[in-house]
Amino acid sequence: MQLFPRALNKLGLAVAVGSNAALVVVVCLFWYYGSPKNLQVGYAPLQPVPYSHRLHAGDLGIDCRYCHANIERSAHAMIPATQTCMGCHSIVKTDSAKLEPVRDSWKTGAPIEWTKVHKLPEHAYFNHSAHLAAGVGCVTCHGRIDKMEVVRLDKPISMGWCLECHRDPSPNLRPKDQITNMNWTPDMAPAGWQPPKVNPPTNCSGCHR
C-alpha cells in the first residue's frame, strides 16, 4: 500500500532548496538591517537640556571650538562644562525656562548628564586631535551638526566605515583653517592646494590597544 502520494517525492528537494534560500534571505536581512548603518544612524536621544546646535553653530555661527575647546589638543572632544554655557547665559536669556537645568547645575555644582550619541566601543581609541591635525573636517564624521536641532548620529561609525577613509583619506581632507566650516566643499580649496600626504594606520594597533 502506498501511504504517501508520489508528489511527496519532491518534498525533500523543495525543503533543501527552500531552507537554503530562507537562510540566504535571513542572512541578507541581518546583513543590511543589522548593520550599524541601519541600526545606529539616526539615533537622536533627547538631551536633558534642549540645546540646539542649529541655533548656536548654524544661525549664530559660533565656532565649534568655542565650546569643544581642547579638541585640537586632546583625544576627547569634550562636552563643555556648565561654566562654558554660563559664560554667555549669565547675560543672555537669563530667565529662559529651557536653561533651568543649566542654572541649577551652576548653582548646585552637580554636572549635567548628557546622553552619549557617538559611541565607540571601549577597545577603540579614537583621537580627535590626530584627525584635526591631519585635516579631517568636523562635518566628515558628524554630518551637518549646524542644521540639527537635536544631535543625531549621521554616520555609522563602524570599523568598516572608519577603514574606508583610512585606506584613502585624501577625499576627506581639507585645509586646516576650514576644519570647522560646515559648508566647505573641495572646489572651495585655494588654487593649487593639494591634500596633505597623511599615512593613517590600517593595522590593529592604530586604533585598538
The site for another protein (CB under 8 A) is made up of 45, 70, 72-76, 78-84, 105-106, 109-116, 119, 121-123, 125, 127, 129-130, 133-134, 198-199, 201, 203-206, 208-209
Place of cell 546622553: 115
Nearer to another protein, 6 or 107 (CB): 107
* Residue closest to 50 by CA, chosen among 162, 195, 138, 151: 151
CA–CA distance, 112 with 106 (Å, rounded to integer): 9
Give the type of residue at 1.
M
CB of 140 to another protein, least distance (A): 17
Q: Who's near 162: CB < 8 A, 6+ residues apart?
A: 207
Nearer to another protein, 10 or 209 (CB): 209
136 φ/ψ angles, rounded to the nearest 5 degrees: -90, 130
Nearer to another protein, 147 or 208 (CB): 208
Chain centroid, CA 65 distance in Å: 17
Nearer to another protein, 70 or 96 (CB): 70
CB of 85 to another protein, least distance (A): 10
CB of 70 to another protein, least distance (A): 5
CA–CA distance, 105 with 82 (Å, rounded to integer): 7
Cβ–Cβ < 8 Å for 169, 208: no
CA atoms within 13 A on the CB side of 26: 6
Nearer to another protein, 6 or 123 (CB): 123
